[in-house]
Structure 1
Amino acid sequence: MPHSEIIELGRHTCDAIGTPGITREVLVGVIGTTKFGPQVAEVLVGAAERSYCPEKSYSTAPAIAWTPEPTAAATTGPRTSVSNGIYEVGPDMAPGKYKTPGPGAAGSCYFEVSDGSGSLSGIDHNDNISGPGVVTLREGKYFKATGGCTWSKAE
């Protein structure tokens, strides 16, 4: 497995740590169903906890239920407000400045602006936020949001 893929998997593991309803056992179980199997999953989660994000801890809050928003094709145009999901800026959501008041009691939200390639080098900007946030999105980029924050286009 290339080093870049290991780093990418560690980053995604860290994204999940702290998400309500995600325990260490759940995380190991999910990764364990992939080509890696449960023993490698245990090692990968442990390495992420120690090396990539030792400051993070698992949430004790219950899971947050959410339903992904309909695709842009089901709406009358690009959205100006989004929550959990991955969106292409332009077709799915309007370009511009977006703000969020933050996650509320949920703890933290993750967002990512990328070129959509799925590679670590394709990420322009990402962050875990526990309060208000602002991000500017250009057409052709992808915006990923998790953790329940609602991002609304600033006027």
Structure 2
Amino acid sequence: MKYGAVALVSLFVGVGIGTSDGSAETGKGASGTKAAPRPTVTVTKTAAAADPEPAPTVTKTVAAKPKKTKEAGPATTFSGEGEYVVGEDIEAGTYKTAGSDGAFGCYWERAKDASGEFGSIIANNNLEGPGRVTLNKGEYFKTNRCQEWKKVG
């Protein structure tokens, strides 16, 4: 609608200029004289405002708070090969094994210290099949050629 009104006004101005001879004294001009220059009409068209750009998407990454992990304590399952301190490396309690992992039998030993001396042995056995042993805190448990030990009590 705005541009239509501008066009209509421009049309009337152009027609008015075209019908006049360019002088204020119509009919009084001398022959051979130059006509005065006609005024130029300039129409300024305002460009429509461009569509605004969409607002940028902001993504905020929130890291989840880490869950408190349970401190690692003594194990309740352990390998059939090694020497363990009961209460530090493994929990006190009763453990079972399926027996030997080979042809020579499963050897286990409860000891009062890690000296390796014969006098430090509390109990020992050489299993041909499954077996159980009860371990007390502070003892040393040595196992060779056995399958995995699992706590059962």
**Normalising by the residue count of structure 2, what TM-score does the alignment of the two structures yield?**
0.49
Kindly indicate which of the two structures has a greater share of residues assigned to helix. Answer: 1
**Normalising by the residue count of structure 1, what TM-score does the alignment of the two structures yield?**
0.49
Larger Rg: 2
